[in-house]
């Protein structure tokens, strides 16, 4: 928080997210899985999502975006 003109401002500058070597982004990892295993990108995305859901609490703490991956909707319901 900063003080301006006697008022407390809680605005923070948004930091631009950059790709790190540890995790270049979900789409890049998906493409990498597809190339390595010779699968379609759709299947690679399913593998990535499955493993993301299994991520440890420590991994989710380091990368909160892992919490955004939801369970797929069931077919026929």
The domains of the chain are located at: 24-67
List, for residues 42-71, the tens digit of each pLDDT value: 999 999 999 999 999 999 999 898 899 888
Strands (E), the chain: 2-4, 7-9
Tokens linked to 63:
């990368």
How crowded is the C-beta side of 20, counted as CA atoms within 13 Å? 6
Please give the model's pTM, rounded to 2 decimal places. 0.63
pLDDT digits (tens, 9 = 90+) for 26-39: 899 999 999 999 99
- Cα 56 to the chain's mean position, in Å? 14
d(CA 18, CA 25): 9
């Amino acid at each position: 928080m900063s003080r301006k003109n006697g008022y407390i401002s809680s605005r923070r500058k948004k930091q631009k997210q950059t790709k790190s070597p540890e995790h270049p982004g979900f789409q890049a990892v998906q493409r990498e899985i597809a190339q390595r295993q010779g699968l379609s990108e759709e299947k690679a995305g399913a593998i990535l999502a499955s493993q993301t859901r299994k991520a440890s609490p420590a991994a989710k703490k380091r990368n909160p975006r892992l919490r955004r991956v939801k369970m797929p909707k069931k077919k026929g319901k």
